[in-house]
Amino acid sequence: MLKFRLALILVLAFNGLNGQNFQIIRDHKTPLMHVFNPQTATDDWLQVSEQHPEMPLPSGVDDGLRKRIDAKRSAFNQKNMARRGNYSGKPVNPEQIAPEDVNGWDGTFGSGTPNDNHIAVSNNGTVISVLNTVIRVYDENGNFKNRWGLIQFANVNKKIDAFPVMDRVFDPRVMYDPIADRFILLYMHGTTDKNSFIVVAFSQTNDPSQSWNVYKIPGKPTKDSIWSDYPIVSHNSSDLFFTVNLIGVGASWEEGFTEAIIWQINKEDGYKGDTLHKNHYSNIKYQGKSLRSICAIQNGPRPEGTDNYFISVKPIDEVNDTVFLLHVTNTQRSGKADLTMKTMVSPMKYGFPPSALQPDTSYKLRTNDARVLSAIRLGNSVQYLQNCMNFKTMQAHLTHNTIHQISAEPHIEANMITDDSLDMGYPAIASAGKTADDPSAVITFVYSSPWHYPGTAAIYRNRLGEYSSIVKMVKGKSLINYSYIPKGEQRWGDYEGIQAKYNEPGVFYAVGSYGINSNMNAWISRIKLTDNLLAAPIADIRVFPVPSQNDVFIELKVETAGVYQASLTNMLGQSLKTNKQITLGTGIHKLRIDGIGLAAGTYIIQIQKDGKPFYHQKILLQ
């Protein structure tokens, strides 16, 4: 059964606004490599699989730590393998707001394992799915239109510029820009300093089967003897952002990590086919150590704005609570873009997740580490998700945390999505609200357990923080069991994808994976939300749930910034519970009062603004 843990909303220390010695190279230029027309592509997308069946492991993976954690979980599960009970208390039936899979189709398989899935959908309903080495185009109902190998974007007269034969094509990402009505594609090539580069392509029209402007970004931008790995992408109204890890040649995954960097690219250059103007940001460190696996945060609900945020954690630690929030402050074209960083402490600890289990528990699925895999920015807040250890049950579950007040004094509302039997991994999130005031979101992820073959699921959280039930988009039909990978180290996935259809509110396209015939197949879902709250206006103040069993939440629409404090009193006016004073800027905020330990009965919620009475309402605790 589905369940959730919610930690206290807490104001925490932050530092490092401008004291970092970041290295910023502005206006780095890359000429157009060539124009690629998919109509000239041949159907050779499987050519990589025989020689290199396994995609590169994401950098930073600590095999020693993974094995220790898996051993701890195995010992724990011998005593606790029975399905655990559930607790509830939600003010709505989770089934009533569950997302609906209105149409799904098989995206088949790609060259190599695991499935590195990503997806984009245009306003006219064209769907692009990328998987490892191949791109597929569908209409919005899943009717197949076109397919070709990603390798061919970089082909010039059937060869790769001055580089040797492309023997590593991996980690593709695809995005749709609703402002320009174009697609952007990005993927990695090469796992050595001799052949590492990043292909970035911009569609010339909204038809991906027509011509693309193709660029080659260097894979060793800071020094020799490194290569680039594992991009995470976002974009705003003017720029494309992507982050990569730089890896030393010939070193292990753990020891080879050098640093994570940020690229910022002017999108208009790419759409026009002009020379790309770029910035890149490096030497991003905390206490002398480079940050790992920086996640680019997608602005929502549409890719607008002129700045962009990024987030990182300590992903290979067994237990930690440090969170880093970075900010690129302006557009590439402005010439004034800068990078800042704030350091926070989460009120709920995260940690390196165990491997996921399958019905044959000797076949374990890698969850890689606890890096932030997907994040969205909504106004003055950020939501982010990690693969994470559930320290109570020793399962692989997901953190779904919110950082409030990112432009001032940020604080973290920490939450964990859990289940009594499922392991979960590789989440992706998309904004579900109409405006940045609405924190509604849809999350997709893969799952597995001793009772479930690997599949893909989705869950929805409305703006009041209420979660739906988990909806299985596709159920697995077999173990994942690649013969060339050890039983206990099976590859499950490095990421999945989801995007809102921008001109059709409440509709999303997601891509995930499931087990079939001992392999992984991609699965594409058209998701429709059923929550009536999406169409309801945001109230100035709303208290929920009513009645409440434990915690009481207050949705507060702030028109004027100020210092707010909420308290819970009895009918005699005696204060029983009070939260901390907190400075709130304009926008929608959520306050929490702990009602645990109070007797059932009628109470009064009171809110003060700048020390003066602002609001009161009677509530019922059960």
Rounded mean pLDDT of 603-611? 82
Residue 79: its pLDDT value, please?
54
Query: Which pLDDT does position 60 carry in this prediction?
Result: 59
Mean pLDDT of the chain: 86
H-type helices in 380-512, by residue range?
none
Highest mean predicted confidence (pLDDT) among 3-12, 459-468, 471-480, 601-610: 471-480
pLDDT exceeds 50 at position 118: yes
pLDDT at res. 46: 44
In terms of DSSP bridges, do strands 308-313 and 295-296 run parallel, antiparallel, or are they unpaired?
A: antiparallel
State how far the Cα of 11 lies from the Cα of 548, in Å rounded to an integer. Answer: 25
53-57, 114-118, 189-193: the lowest-pLDDT one: 53-57
| Euclidean distance between CA atoms 497 and 428, whole angstroms | 6
Answer yes or no: is pLDDT of 111 > 80.
no
Task: Tokens 């392999």: give the residue.
Answer: 519
pLDDT at 294 over 60: yes
pLDDT computed for residue 566 by the predictor = 81
pLDDT tier, 154 (very low <50, low <70, confident <90, very high otherwise): confident
Does residue 341 register a pLDDT over 70?
yes
Q: Exposed, middle or buried: residue 548 (CB in 10 Å: 0-12, 13-18, 19+)?
A: buried
CA dist 113 to 66, 117, 120, 519, Å?
Answer: 20, 11, 21, 9
Q: What is the mean pLDDT of residues 456-485?
A: 93
**Portion of the chain with pLDDT greater than 90, in percent:** 59
Mean per-residue pLDDT for 422-451?
A: 95
pLDDT at 571 over 90: no
By mean pLDDT, which of 289-293, 350-354, 595-599 is the weakest? 595-599
Residue 1's pLDDT is 40
CB 158 within 8 A of CB 540: no
- Give pLDDT, residue 226: 94
Residue that wins the pLDDT comparison between 102 and 354: 354
pLDDT at 32: 94
- Please give the single-letter amino acid code of residue 455: G
Instruction: Name the band, by pLDDT with cuts 50, 70 and 90, for residue 603.
Output: confident
* The pLDDT value given to residue 19: 52
Q: Is the pLDDT of residue 238 over 90?
A: yes
pLDDT higher than threshold 80 for residue 63: no
pLDDT tens digits, residue range 578-589? 777 878 878 777
Q: What is the pTM of this model?
A: 0.86
Give the tens place of pLDDT for each residue, 478-529.
Answer: 999 998 899 999 999 899 999 999 999 999 999 999 999 999 999 999 999 9
Measured in residues, the chain has a length of 622
Strands 372-378 and 298-300: parallel
In the structure encoding, which two tokens stand for residue 43, read together? 């159907």
Whole-number Å distance between alpha carbons of 519 and 538: 45
Q: What's the pLDDT band for 190 if we cut at 50, 70, 90?
A: confident
Say how far residue 1 (Cα) sits from the centre of its chain. Answer: 24
> What pLDDT was estimated at residue 92?
66
- The stretch 373-402 carries a mean pLDDT of 96
9 — pLDDT class (breaks 50, 70, 90): very low
Six token digits for residue 214: 């193709």
Asked whether residue 136 carries a pLDDT value surpassing 90, the answer given is yes
Residue 466, pLDDT above cutoff 70: yes
Written as six digits, the tokens of 34 are 């060539």
> Which class for 43: exposed (0-12), middle (13-18), buried (19 or more C-beta within 10 A)?
exposed
Residue 76's pLDDT is 77
The domains found in the chain, sorted by start residue, are 2-38+65-533 (2.130.10.10), 539-621 (2.60.40.2550)
Residue 175 or 622, more confident: 175
Confidence band, pLDDT 50/70/90 cuts, at residue 545: low
- The whole-angstrom separation of Cα 228 and Cα 23 is 18
Q: Of the ranges 111-115, 369-373, 560-564, which is most confident?
A: 369-373
Residue with tokens 């067994």: 318
Output the DSSP codes for 188-241: EE-SSTTT-EEEEEEESSS-TTS-EEEEEEES-SSSSSEEEEEEEEEE-SSEEE
More confident residue, 39 or 89: 39
139, 125 contact by CB (below 8 A): yes
**595 Ramachandran zone, left/alpha/beta (phi>0; psi -120 to 50):** alpha
Residue 156: what pLDDT? 64
**Residue 613 has what pLDDT?**
79
Confidence at residue 550, expressed as pLDDT on a 0 to 100 scale = 60
Q: What is the mean pLDDT of residues 363-388?
A: 96
In this prediction, residue 612 carries a pLDDT of: 84
Q: What is the predicted pLDDT for the residue at 464?
A: 80
Question: Per-residue pLDDT for 352 more than 70?
Answer: yes
Over residues 79-90, the mean pLDDT reads: 37
Helix (H) or strand (E) holding 327: strand 320-328
A 10 A CB-CB count for 612 gives 7
pLDDT of residue 595: 65
157: pLDDT confidence band, cut at 50, 70 and 90? low
122 close to 18: Cβ distance less than 8 angstroms: no
Closest CA relative to residue 291, chosen from 270, 262, 317, 312: 312
Q: How many CA atoms lie within 13 A of 298 on its CB side?
A: 26
Sort 529 into a burial class: Cβ within 10 Å, 0-12 / 13-18 / 19+: buried
- Range in 225-239, 269-283, 451-465, 592-606 with the lowest mean pLDDT: 592-606
Q: In this prediction, what percent of the chain has a pLDDT beyond 70?
A: 85
Q: Give the contacts of 71 (CB within 8 A, at least 6 positions apart).
A: none
**Mean pLDDT, range 12-20, rounded to an integer:** 43
Q: In what order do the strands lie in the sheet with 519-528?
A: 100-108, 519-528, 507-516, 497-500
Number of other CB atoms surrounding residue 86 within 10 Å: 11
242 pLDDT higher than 50: yes
Amino acid at residue number 618 = K
CA distance 560 to 587: 9
Peptide bond into 547 cis (omega under 30): yes
The 3-state secondary structure of 274-304 reads: CCEEEEEEECCEECCEECCCCEECEEECCCC
pLDDT surpassing 80 at residue 376: yes
pLDDT for 84: 32
- pLDDT tens figures, 416-430: 999 999 999 999 999
> Which whole number is the average pLDDT over 137-149?
94
Cα–Cα dist 224/193, whole Å: 7
Mean pLDDT of 8-24: 53
pLDDT number for residue 80: 53
Look at residues 112, 171, 183 and name the one whose alpha carbon lies nearest to residue 146. 183
- pLDDT band at residue 17 under the 50/70/90 scheme: very low
User: pLDDT band for position 597 (50/70/90)?
Assistant: low
What is the predicted pLDDT for the residue at 78? 56
For residue 59 the two structure tokens come to 């950098």
